[in-house]
Amino acid sequence: MDTSTVDPSKWEQFQASFDLFRDPILCALIAGGVLGFLSVYVVLRRMVFVSAATTHAAGLGVALAFFAEIHLGFQVDPTLGATTLSLAATMLLMTDPSRLKLTRESLLGLAFAFAGGAAVLVGDRIAQEAHDIQGILFGTAVLVTPEQLAHVAIVGGLVMIVHLWWYRGLTFASFDRIGAGVQGLPVRLLDAVVMVSIGVMVGVSARALGSLPVFAFSTLSAIAALILDLRLGWTFLIATLAGCISGVGGYLFAFFYDYPVGGSQTVLSSLLVLLAMLIHELRRLLDPTR
């Protein structure tokens, strides 16, 4: 397939049906931006596996919601299922594993493997919703419902208000726990705010966009920003922009060139990392003292 040009009919279809595409584009913009912001915490605190585990847990939550409706006869909102399981995984990962003579990596591996495997097993018993399960796991969905957009927008807005309001305290407690404790900051509370923010945002976003792109937004965005070696405030801003670009750009590429949405968003996130690497090397060549 020739991807060098866009079929003019695609532009016409996009313009004529923009009302259908507006919600998924806005959802990708909001989710990508907020998760990009949070990704700085994920990467700098070496919690990449936390993001992976929570996204898998969100997928399991959606699968269980469908299972409950089909086989148990009661309806559970899939977004609620995704958020609940994502938060449950987050709470598990916040516990002290040393009591069980385990490492934190052991808990991460358990949560990641169990959630991913259980989602596949539950999905096997709900053939009617197999397409939806594939969409949640890999991000193949093209359209986003108004309810899903509302959930992402409300949660994303609240997360950003809290994080911008408590920015100094959250960053201090996250990256210098000892110093924050000496200064009398409530380190445990601030740590919980970060973890819960990640868990809730991952849950609502995974339901709307799929686990694969959500994982990319919540990790690769910060990696791209950190490669540029900027001040922390700029790093948060660049990571946020990278998430927005990946979300919206990946969706548009998928639409115009007929590729899966989740894969397109994930690959674009990866390409932004490669672009950041290139910029870093060019800056180093131009300024050998760096």
Residue 14 lies in a domain: yes
Q: Tell me, what CATH number does 176's domain have?
A: 1.10.3470.10
Rounded mean pLDDT of 45-61?
Answer: 81
Nearest-angstrom CA–CA distance, 139 and 214: 9
Nearest-angstrom CA–CA distance, 165 and 260: 37
Residue 219 lies in a domain: yes
Residue 227 lies in a domain: yes
The model's pLDDT over 180-232, given as tens digits with 9 standing for 90+, comes to: 888 888 988 998 899 889 989 988 898 888 888 999 999 999 999 999 999 99
Q: What is the pLDDT of residue 257?
A: 86
Residue 45 lies in a domain: yes
Nearest-angstrom CA–CA distance, 127 and 125: 6
Residue 285 lies in a domain: no
Residue 284 lies in a domain: no
Residue 289 lies in a domain: no
pLDDT for residue 108 is more than 80: no
Residue 2 lies in a domain: no
Tell which wins on pLDDT, 140 or 69: 69
What's the domain count of the chain?
1
Alpha-carbon Rg for the chain, nearest whole angstrom, is: 20
**Among the ranges given (30-34, 82-86, 123-127), the one the predictor scored with the smallest mean pLDDT:** 123-127
The DSSP secondary-structure symbol of 71 reads I
For residue 150, give its domain range: 8-279
As a whole number of angstroms, the longest Cα–Cα distance in the chain is: 67
